[in-house]
Structure formats: structure tokens, C-alpha cells
Amino acid sequence: MKVFSITNNKGGTGKTTTTLNLGAALAHKGFKVLLIDLDAQCNLSIALGVKNNTSHIGELLVGESTFEQTLIKKEKMDILPSSRLLLSFEYRINMEPDSGYFLQEQLAGKDYDYVLIDCPPSLGSLTVNALVASDYFIVPIQGENFAYVGLDEILQLCAKIRKRMNPNIQLGGILLNKFDMRTKFSQMIYTKLSENSDIKLYKSNIRQDVSLMECTAFAQSIFEYAPESRGASDYMVLCEEVLSQ
């Protein structure tokens, strides 16, 4: 089992879109995939058509529900859904000893090929739980002003987690999302990332595609909604890179 956290402490960078569609690409190739929604906005859960669930990831982490009670099985991917109440559970998690290991403990021994975690736009205890449980982390960024903001913080946090809690975690790659190389911001950000020997860039990048925005409104992945689109092509190329890791 390989576990990937999709994380960025800046909102709106494409974390949920990447979690959903990379997971769908892996499932399309026949792998058994689990998605985990750690964001209180519940966008990943909503995108998979999860509504009015009785148990959620917060309850699982504090021991109020079991893995089986929380898990929702979908046709192609399973999901541990989130809740609007998740932030109150994060406070409770903070009060527990060794709270950074809760998710890792829940995933131990589970029968999945790939687990993808949609992290919240913060570096709090939920993100720490995700990173401690992960083999790799993916950082989606967009080619716009402030896109570089927070990247150093993510890398520093992961370095601390690697030293103290999870020696196996490593950067899967920086994922360029909605990059338009005609803009100066995109050119500047790409140059900085390319020249940094400590940063790995995925060769694939996700181009602007309205289908990627539309598909979630219909509770579908890009491969169900628009299989011939640029978005579907881009996420399948990313999937091939991930499979090589």
C-alpha cells in the first residue's frame, strides 16, 4: 500500500481535484483505491456524492466510530468522508498524546493499493496526521501571485516529520496546476522551482480545463464526465508518473 498526501496550506490550488482525479485514474487502471477527506469543507466527499453520512473521519480519529462504520464504498473508489464538524474534532485530537499517529494506526493492515489524502489548507494536526501516515506528499501549485507562498513551510514541516515521526516520507513532486506559461508569474515560478535542486517537479502538469470544474458538480471524476478532455489526459499522465514512484 502506498499513501499520498495532497497538501498545500494555501486554498484553491487544486488539492481536491487532484485527489479525486488521480484516484480515479489509478482505479481506472485496476488498483484498489481509498480516498480520505481531511478538509472540513467536505469538497471531496461532496464530489463523490456523499451526503448525510452518519460517521466521518473526525469520529474515526478520536475513536467514536470504527473504520468499517466510517468507510463508504463507491463503485470504483472507497472514501472516508469528512464533516463540517471536523474542526471541533481537530481540537480534541490536539489534546491527545501521540495524536499525530491516529490516521497511521487506522490505515495499518488495510487492503488498498493506493490511499490518497485530501489535506486541509493548513498545517495543523490533521495535516500532520496525513503526513505521518504517508509515503509521499504532492504539492499542487498554480501559476499566479503568491503561489510560492507557503511552499517552504510545507517542506520544513515535512522535514521535521521525517526526522521525528515518519522517516519514510518524501516529496512525490510539485504539481503545476492551471499554469499558463504566457504570464510572467508562471514563468517566474517555474524558473524558481526548476532551479531548486531540492525540489522535484512532476513532468506532467494540469492544464486549464472547464471540464475539471464541471465534473464535480455532477459527482463524477473527469474520466466519467469528459474522458476525452485535456483534464482526463493530464491526470492519466500524472498517474503514470505516480505509478513509477
Range of the structural domain that residue 215 is part of: 2-243
What is the dihedral angle through the alpha carbons of 102, 104, 106, 110, rounded to the nearest 10 degrees? 180
pLDDT digits (tens, 9 = 90+) for 150-175: 788 899 999 999 999 999 999 999 99
What sign does the CA torsion over 156, 112, 91, 46 have? positive
Confidence label for 26 from pLDDT (cuts 50, 70 and 90): very high
- Mean pLDDT of all residues belonging to the chain: 91
**42: phi > 0 → left, psi -120 to 50 → alpha, else beta; which?**
left
Query: What predicted TM-score, i.e. pTM, was given to this entire model?
Result: 0.95
| Residue 147: pLDDT over 70 | no
Joined together, the cell numbers standing for residue 133 give 501516515
- Whole-number Cα distances in Å, 128 to 66, 78, 99: 21, 22, 9
| Residue 1: pLDDT over 80 | yes
pLDDT digits (tens, 9 = 90+) for 133-146: 999 999 999 876 66
- Say how many domains are in the chain: 1
| Residue 71: pLDDT over 70 | yes
Can you name the residues that pair with 36 across neighbouring β-strands?
A: 80, 117
Residue 117's domain is classified under what CATH number? 3.40.50.300
